[in-house]
Amino acid sequence: MTTQLKNNRTQVIPEDDDFICQRRYIACGFVLNIGMYSFIKLGFGSKVWDAALTLLQYFEEQKMSFSEKKVIELGSGTGILGIVTALLGGNVTITDKPELLKQMEWNVLVNIPSTCQSRIKVRALSWGYDHMLFPSDYDYILCTDIMYAYDSVPLILRTLLHLSNEKTIIYFASTMSFGYSVINSGHQILFKYFNSQLVCRNEVNDVRVYIMTKIT
C-alpha cells in the first residue's frame, strides 16, 4: 500500500477498495504521508481541513513543544494534527467516530516511528455520550473544524467541560466559511464557559484559531 509521492500528487492505492489516496504534507518540519478513505463512507473525516493545517502552521511559528504533555484531539479525522503533536513530544490520544479509527491507525503506523508509537493512542469518542470514559487531566485539547451542526454544539460543550480542568489549554480552530452561522453561535455558547483569545487568523482560508481556558 505504500507509494512514493512527489509534488503533493494524489495516488490511487489499488490494494484496498476503501482506501482512496494519500497525500504528502510538510508540517513543523515533518514530512507526512496522510491516507484518506472513501468520503462516501467516512464523510467529513476523510479530508484534511484548512483549520488543522492553519493550527499546525501556528504551532510551527510558535516553535511549540509538547514534550511530556498529555494531549487529546477531538474529531481527529485523518489524525494529521495529533500525529504532528506526538512528533513534537506529546503523549497524544486522537479520537473520532468508530468508523474512522482504521484510517487514523493507518496514518499513525505510516508516520510515527516505532520508537514513538507508545506515545499516541487511537480511540473512539462520541461527543456528549462516552466522554466520561476519558480523564480530566489533559494539558491540551485540540479541536479543528468540528463545529458544523447546531445539535453538535451542546455535545462538544459537555465533552470539553469534562475533559478540561483549570490548567487545560484548548486550541479551537474553525474555518468560518464552512458554516459561519453555526460556528459563530457555537462560539457564543462556548465562550460562556471558557475564557477565549483569538491568537491566529488566516484570512486566505478564513480560519480563526482561539485559545480557550475553563472559567472557574
- pLDDT at 8 (0 to 100): 39
Residue 93 predicted with pLDDT over 50: yes
How far is 113 from 158, CA to CA, in rounded Å? 34
26 within some domain = no
Q: Which domain holds residue 133?
A: 45-214
- Answer yes or no: is 131 within a domain: yes
Cα–Cα distance, 161 to 194 (Å, whole number): 9
Q: Give the start-end residues of each E strand in the chain.
A: 11-12, 19-27, 30-37, 70-74, 91-96, 120-124, 140-144, 169-175, 194-202, 207-214
Whether 21 is in a domain gets the answer no
pLDDT of 205 > 80? The answer is yes
Residue 193: per-residue pLDDT: 98
- pLDDT above 80 for 212: yes
Mean pLDDT throughout 203-214? 96
Rounded mean pLDDT, 54-81: 97
Q: Residue 22: inside a domain, yes or no?
A: no
Residue 5 lies in a domain: no
CATH number, domain with residue 60: 3.40.50.150
9 falls within a domain = no
- The total domain count for the chain is 1
Please indicate whether residue 14 or residue 79 has the higher confidence score (pLDDT). Answer: 79
8 lies in some domain: no
119 assigned to some structural domain: yes
The model's pLDDT over 137-180, given as tens digits with 9 standing for 90+, comes to: 999 999 999 998 999 999 999 999 999 999 999 999 999 988 88
